Structure 1
Amino acid sequence: MSAAQRPIGVFDSGIGGLSVLQALNRALPQEHFVYLADNAHAPYGEKSDLHVQQRTYAIAQHLIRQHGIKALVVACNTATAAAIHELRQQHPLLPVVGVEPALKPAAQITRTGHVGVMATRGTVQSAKFARLLGSLQDQARFEVCACNGLALAIEQTTLPSLEESASAEVSRLLRTYTSAMGRFGQGEGEIDTLVLGCTHYVFAQEALQQLVGNGVRLVSTGEPVARQTQRLLESAHLLRHGTAPQHLGSRVQLLTTGHLGGLQAAAQRWLQLGARHCRQADPI
């Protein structure tokens, strides 16, 4: 198999990175993907930096050795903040793309100058996030909220035994955190732009939009990550050519270190892919 024919690796602590996979698939419809959900160790956003770093390095090694990936997308804000610098040093020849809360795009589009940011505790407490936030202080006012428990609750909505209670918890947490940030709207001083700083939160955006109002822009990271992945593959001459775009189901493997049923339900709900596309990952 030529280098260009190899798959792109994508991983997250759970099912949140499927939102990034959706964007990658739209931008790169000829590419093949291996997606790994580290559900057995989720959520990363409430774990120590050391734990997240160890999992990130181990998963990268697994995807390289077992699946021969040609590029790696770290579809997790927490893992990007904690580990991507060292990851790039460990694998200097591998194109590595991370995600970060879309503060820069939000600062460019806000009209009131007031931006809300929802992210995990691990992300908002990271040095990488602090540097990003500091670089934009003169461009907008940012209301940052560490949303403990939200990623996990969204994750649990895919488990049949927990779906009802988890959905109620998602609704409760969304109300709590949006209320804590302040007033949303297009009036003077109101928050008119909301950054979804965790890939899981994209799957709650419909409920979020209802809470904050249709006049508030929700900004996520999937599309910019897909564009950056395309640019890196193109510059490295690793874009897959010569085949017509096919349905994602023929081009993706979905793996989990945790509960297989949860990944299967998420794949069906958000990718329209059946259970046969999902399997348990080898021990990592």
Structure 2
Amino acid sequence: MMTDLEVAGPIGVFDSGIGGLSVLKHIRRLLPAESLLYVADTGHLPYGSKPPDVVLRRSVAISRFLVERGAKAIVVACNTATAVAVAELRQQFALPVIGVEPGLKPGISRSRGGVVGVLATEGTLGSEKFRRLVSAHGQQRQVIVQPCPGWVEQVESCTFDSAGARELIASIITPLLRQGVDTLVLGCTHYPYLRPLIQELAGPEVEIVDTGPAIARELQRRLDLLGLLTDSAVAGDERFWVSGDARSAGWQFARLWRPGCLLEPLPDSVK
């Protein structure tokens, strides 16, 4: 298939903060030859509690920034931004735009008792896109939607197993378990970093669904379809931008990506 996009171009990924790194890791693992661009919009964190028009403006501005730097595809590594903005991004930009959404369909298929809990931000759960998802796949099962206030901030603090984290997660998980939930869907890209603690508190019999690997596979499929996969034995490079304080974000990236990762400030025109 003919395309104006460059095969050697990078893949652009963005999120409101460091949560999208959970998706970026799966992309890097599956597509080691691809160059990656990542924007953490930490100056506007979190998206889940922001008005939809704010999330839409940020998503368009960051996507335009990535396209101007040669991105051949964009991954919206944020459930709230996907729900609010992915349709507009696909209309504005002539390249593959891969969104993320709670893995309700696989969650339902894995549930033994038919009670599925969806853990997400208020922005995701209140969106029309999510309502359509429940309407399409949740009719034969009991779907319990659960906002998780404070979880994004807990991940951004990189304290995943503190007493405070345990109390915060237990306050959400315990009531769901009492309602018979046997499958938990992680509906925010920040939440996979809390998965070990969620699993410990929920117990080994509870299934946890994370869509990160599926997102990477869908990106690979779309690039392959367009003839845009990079065929090289050389590992792709990476660039990172943050809209907040790059220095204060350095320790987060050092822990969740790698030490010594260079973070560039997002230009003022994009902030």
TM-score range, shorter chain: over 0.9
Q: 2:28 aligns with which of 8, 25, 50?
A: 25
* Residues 1:29 and 1:105: Cα distance change in structure 2 (over 3 Å): same
Extract unaligned runs of 5+ from structure 1. Answer: 158-162, 184-188
2:49: which partner in 1? 46
Deviations 1:240-259 (A, max 9, x none): 01x2153xxx6111211112
Q: What SS does the aligned partner of 1:3 have?
A: coil
Q: What is the rounded CA distance, in whole Å, between the counterparts of 1:43 and 1:169 in structure 2? A: 19
Deviations 1:174-221 (A, max 9, x none): 1111123233xxxxx732211010000011111111110011111111
Q: What is the rounded CA distance, in whole Å, between the counterparts of 2:189 and 2:48 in structure 1? A: 11
Q: Is the contact made by 1:8 and 1:70 (CA closer than 8 Å) also made in structure 2?
A: yes
Counterpart AA for 2:244: G
1:97: which partner in 2? 98
1:198 to 2:188 alignment: yes
* Residues 1:279 and 1:168: Cα distance change in structure 2 (over 3 Å): farther
Q: What SS does the aligned partner of 1:134 have?
A: helix
Counterpart AA for 1:71: A
* Residues 1:262 and 1:174: Cα distance change in structure 2 (over 3 Å): farther
Q: 2:82 aligns with which of 75, 80, 86?
A: 80
Q: Is the contact made by 2:14 and 2:39 (CA closer than 8 Å) also made in structure 1?
A: yes
TM-score by length of 1: 0.88
Shift of residue 262, structure 1, vs aligned partner: 4.5
Q: What SS does the aligned partner of 1:199 have?
A: coil
Matches within 5 A, 1:65-214: 65=68, 67-91=69-93, 93-157=94-158, 167-183=162-178, 190-214=180-204
Moved more, 45-54 or 254-263: 254-263
Q: What is the rounded CA distance, in whole Å, between the counterparts of 2:266 and 2:259 in structure 1? A: 17
Q: Is the contact made by 2:254 and 2:261 (CA closer than 8 Å) also made in structure 1?
A: no
Q: What SS does the aligned partner of 2:145 have?
A: strand
Q: What is the rounded CA distance, in whole Å, between the counterparts of 1:126 and 1:105 in structure 2? A: 20
Q: What SS does the aligned partner of 2:48 have?
A: helix
* Residues 1:112 and 1:226: Cα distance change in structure 2 (over 3 Å): same
Q: Is the contact made by 1:101 and 1:221 (CA closer than 8 Å) also made in structure 2?
A: yes
Counterpart AA for 1:170: A
2:244: which partner in 1? 258
Deviations 1:122-150 (A, max 9, x none): 00000000110111223321111011221
1:244: which partner in 2? 233
Counterpart AA for 1:62: F
Q: Is the contact made by 2:119 and 2:146 (CA closer than 8 Å) also made in structure 1?
A: yes
Q: Is the contact made by 2:23 and 2:216 (CA closer than 8 Å) also made in structure 1?
A: yes
Q: What is the rounded CA distance, in whole Å, between the counterparts of 2:32 and 2:261 in structure 1? A: 21
Extract unaligned runs of 5+ from structure 2. Answer: none
1:63 to 2:63 alignment: no
Shift of residue 50, structure 1, vs aligned partner: 0.5
Shift of residue 276, structure 1, vs aligned partner: 3.9
Once the two structures are aligned, what percentage of the paired residues are identical?
A: 42
Q: Is the contact made by 2:242 and 2:266 (CA closer than 8 Å) also made in structure 1?
A: yes
Q: What is the rounded CA distance, in whole Å, between the counterparts of 1:276 and 1:102 in structure 2? A: 31
Q: What is the rounded CA distance, in whole Å, between the counterparts of 1:61 and 1:37 in structure 2? A: 15
Q: For the aligned residues, what is the CA RMSD?
A: 1.8
The structure in which a higher percent of residues are helix is 1
Moved more, 215-224 or 44-53: 215-224
* Residues 1:254 and 1:240: Cα distance change in structure 2 (over 3 Å): same
Q: Is the contact made by 2:78 and 2:189 (CA closer than 8 Å) also made in structure 1?
A: yes
Q: 2:10 aligns with which of 7, 12, 17?
A: 7
Aligned length: 265
Q: 2:19 aligns with which of 8, 16, 20?
A: 16
